[in-house]
Structure 1
């Protein structure tokens, strides 16, 4: 396999000229996003509690909640959530998921099998751009942004996060990256599909090794603001296996795929499907690196 270190790049560094337009693509099919996007491992929430203080009764501001992949677990754990989501369809699905989780928790508690969350789920989803959303008077104990902080205006996001927090409050940013592992040969072969249908694909692109991915860009950005202490990192590698249909659904939620012209996207997805079905028995495994970065307000 050729060395591809020169091509390694993060999945979450959008072109600034297209950042806003790409960020709007997720809201086009919120139900698909909710169905296809994975959640986060339980140990991440344990580390959030330990490092950021997201414990029962803590006031948490979530920025870019999507359809609630992180919102629901935090609310079930007893955090008091205010979630800001720019996409109205995404926000509506998040509200539904929170309501369903609250009903489930209440039923368990009334049946005597609750975990302590019971009817204590308290969460509000606000449909707004974080950049223009007026902060409430009472500051938050923690700000959490799961796979969303890179979509916020870089001129605003760290400073406004600091404004939203009490002294000692925690900025907690979760980033995800496709890394080497899983069905490795598929991710080598599938590049031919991308190079055929998307001319912007760098030749020889490969998933980077987890060890080659680091969060220094985020830590440096936070440090430049001068209002937070050092950034602490926790990392988790997570393998997920997809059927052909499930993998295509996942690809349809990615902003870069959604932004392709329809015929190009259809051709790309057909090429990917043919490869999975023809050479990999209709199933592939993708390895995700999930990185939690926590910085405390001075």
Structure 2
């Protein structure tokens, strides 16, 4: 994602049709649940505290996937309605939160769902807000929030190997996965995410931005890293034979330079905005 227009229209870049968009993660849902990083409970608790969501707060989650953040919200005792357009992801999410009766997973998109006069203390989107159509997204979000409501955008950025390892992979990415061929520094990643909060503020419907960034470093088995890549949209868009060739080429280079394990880093970010009160 390079320019503001590309970021705002990310979902269109890879899934121009609604049916395709709703099925986009279907083939990689299990892998997504297994190898995508979760949100640390302490990080979520900090976001909730900064957002000042009441203990009995009602939360609408947008694009919950397999429940990556939903589980943490459930553990904190919130009542959550979680929307997810992928049926496969819904099924996994329902399994993951089965022990929590205060969570409802609905197989639909934010654009299609109507709250029927319900208002929420918070709308939470965990690495999903870029998939919501840019047309009227902030207007609809504001209309669903109480006067004291907040929009909480959570992000886990792309997991990256150290630069010294990435340099061995660059040519393979250029050939097979150009979107991954450029190493992004941490400041640039956050700058790209700021486009969404800038748009929210520019809408006049949200204000008082609070944000925090935490850097995470983890060790992954090579096989898990290769499986992780398959859950990112540019890789999903590849033809199966191209995806296989990419994986095998990367495996050979990584085995030579890393052995069986490699270090990855990513950033967890929260961006919290208050709903702006209408002028009296």
Q: What's the TM-score, normalizing by structure 1? A: 0.83
Q: How far off is 1:252 after superposition? A: 1.2
CA distance in 1, matches of 2:12, 2:62: 19
Other-structure match for 2:261:
283
Residues 176 and 126 of structure 1: CA distance in aligned 2, closer, same or farther (over 3 Å): same
Report the CA distance shift for 1:201/1:150 in structure 2 as closer, same or farther (over 3 A): closer
* Distance (whole Å) between structure 1 residues aligned to residue 210 and residue 275 of structure 2: 13
State whether structure 2 residue 152 is matched by structure 1 residue 172.
Answer: yes
For residue 130 of structure 1, report the CA deviation from its aligned partner: 1.0
Residue 163 (structure 2) aligned to one of 184, 208, 220:
184
Write the distance in 2 (CA, Å) between the matches of 1:63 and 1:124.
12
**Quick one: distance in 2 between partners of 1:75 and 1:50?**
15
For residues 180-218 of structure 1, give each alpha carbon's deviation from its aligned partner in whole angstroms, at most 9, with x where no partner exists: 7x53311121111111224x4586x21313476324312
Which residue does the alignment assign to 2:123?
Answer: 143
Displacement of 1:229: 1.5
Evaluate the alpha carbon distance shift between residue 91 and residue 191 of structure 1 in structure 2; reply closer, same or farther with a 3 A threshold. same
Q: Which sections of structure 2, spanning at least 5 residues, go unmatched?
A: none
SS in 2 for 1:206: coil
Q: How many residues align?
A: 269
**CA distance change for structure 1 residues 247 and 9 in 2, over 3 Å: closer, same or farther?**
farther
Q: CA deviation at 1:92?
A: 0.9
Alpha carbon RMSD of aligned pairs, Å? Answer: 2.3
- Separation of aligned partners in 1, 2:73 and 2:84: 16
Deviations 1:129-163 (A, max 9, x none): 11011123120000000000000001132111111
Q: Compared with structure 1, are the counterparts of its residues 42 and 254 closer, same or farther at alpha carbon in structure 2 (3 Å cutoff)?
A: same
* CA distance in structure 1 between the partners assigned to 2:85 and 2:103 by the alignment: 16
Aligned-residue offset at 1:95: 0.6
> Which residue pairs with 1:76 in the alignment?
75
How does the TM-score come out when normalised to structure 2? 0.88
Q: CA separation of 1:38/1:179 partners in 2, compared to 1, >3 Å: closer, same or farther? A: closer
Query: 1:98 aligns to what?
Result: 97
1:187–1:207 contact (8 Å) kept in structure 2? no
User: Given the superposition, is the C-alpha separation of residues 201 and 125 from structure 1 closer, same or farther in structure 2, using an over 3 Å criterion?
Assistant: closer
1:194 matched to 2:173: yes
